[in-house]
Amino acid sequence: MKICIAHEYFYPEIVGGIEQSIKMMIDWLIENKTKIEFIVVTSGKRRSIDYYKGIKIYRYRRFDKKLPYLLRYKINVKRFEKLLLDVCKKENVDIVHSHFLISTESSIAIKNKIGTRVITTVRDHGFYCKEGCPLIGKEICNVCSYMGLLKCTLRKKENIVRIFSNFMSTLIFVNNRERWLNLLENSDLITSTSQFLKNCLIKNGISKDIYVIPNFIDIEEKANFNNKVNTILFVGRLIPEKGINDLLKIVKQIKNKFKQKGWKIIICGDGYLKRKVKSTIKKHSLEGVIEFKGSIEYEKLKNLYKNSKILIFPSKWAEPFGRVIIEAMNYGCMIIGYDSGATSEILGDAGVLVNNGNIDELSSTISHFLDNPKKIEKFSVKATKRAKVFESNKAMKKYLKLYQGV
């Protein structure tokens, strides 16, 4: 049996959690020496064939010009489809395992031409919502619709040019979402990373059975809480939906407590609010409380997990999973954050979640634990125990069973 892992990006291009998850899948398959052969079809800055740990990686030349999203999308789909068809014929591929829109559209086209079977893993809201289920007021929008289009666009306080651009982009998405959902429905098997995401797919009209296989981690040695320092860690994109603005407001509110108790916050991530984060730190003299590291490599991030006592997760959008939660729990970090999307499903009892968007409640919760360090240690123990639910062998054995049964 030969499996083709298909996604728009692959190592060393790690754009986000999807790419990290795919890399971990392939690392596991290599390390466990399964009888299944597999290759990767992805994109790159040029067309090439290279290798990752002995695995053949086919890349098409990705189109990155700053054109309207749908135009870029269509160009890249055609390039992906052409390469994927050539590879499937050349390598005698049995199953294409797709992980997002471009690879899924290409995979279904190949299935229709030569009958290759397709497994699609849905990792976020991209098949049915351009914004990833944003907050509209205090409610989460789970379905892109014409009625919700204007609210979705105008919820952002931006200049008229960006508002118009967002409106047109959302309009294009809504006009294509039914086609993308039909492509997903035409997959031979569908998996999702959480029950919450599965429910969203069903709500959006997917009738095919959906198998829930969570993202996973390699379990590390138990973190020693005594070696941790008084640090709260934020890891995520610097955009409003991830709650970075709320975090900055909280730090301004209780910065004196941070100083008195000897705590600091480390911010890791990149995004269009990067300049605002830096200016806020400087304007409000938060240099002694906040350390801004920007985007960092995963190996360096591991050390921050090991040394930090708390992961702050103030994400306000409907999280389809939240990979940083399981990464942090793996190293014994207590989790404090908003109850959004699949967050409570993934977290279990390894932390404390407050009502989504309630800054005062989140602020008081953080303040409470700064005053009660022994409680943090108890949650740290729960976190390392909870992390074992997401151990790599459990998830990958489920994937292997699907490969063999499709």
- Hey, where are the domains in the chain? 2-133+177-216+391-405, 225-389
pTM score:
0.90
Instruction: Give me the phi and psi of 321, to 5 degrees please.
Output: -155, -70
Residue 76 contacts by C-beta under 8 Å, 6 or more apart in sequence? 8, 43, 62, 63, 102
Rg for the chain (alpha carbons), in Å?
A: 22
Instruction: Give the Cα separation of 248 and 261 in Å (integer).
Output: 18
Question: What pLDDT is recorded for position 136?
Answer: 46
Q: Do domains 2-133+177-216+391-405 and 225-389 have the same CATH topology?
A: yes
Instruction: Give the Cα separation of 110 and 200 in Å (integer).
Output: 27
The strands making up 308-313's β-sheet, listed across from edge to edge, are: 290-294, 264-268, 229-235, 308-313, 334-338, 351-354
- What is the three-state SS of 42-85? EEECCCEEEEECCEEEEEEECCCCCCCHHHHHHHHHHHHHHHHH
Instruction: Give the Cα separation of 270 and 261 in Å (integer).
Output: 28
Tell the CATH topology of 2-133+177-216+391-405: Rossmann fold (3.40.50)
Q: Would you write out the chain's pLDDT as a tens digit for each of its 406 residues?
A: 899 999 999 999 887 778 989 999 999 999 988 888 999 999 999 999 999 999 999 999 999 887 766 778 889 999 999 999 999 999 999 999 999 899 999 999 999 999 999 999 999 888 887 765 554 455 555 556 666 666 666 666 667 776 777 777 777 777 888 899 999 999 999 999 999 999 989 988 999 999 999 999 988 777 789 999 999 999 998 988 899 999 999 999 999 999 999 999 999 999 889 999 999 999 999 999 999 999 988 889 999 999 999 999 999 888 899 899 999 999 999 999 999 889 999 999 999 999 998 999 999 999 999 999 999 999 999 999 999 999 999 999 999 999 988 7
The verdict on domain 225-389 having CATH code 3.40.50.2000 is yes
Q: What is the dihedral of CA 318, 323, 324, 329, to 10 degrees?
A: 110
Q: What is the dihedral of CA 197, 199, 203, 205, to 10 degrees?
A: 80
Residue 67 contacts by C-beta under 8 Å, 6 or more apart in sequence? none
The DSSP output letter for 217 is B
Instruction: Give the Cα separation of 182 and 221 in Å (integer).
Output: 44
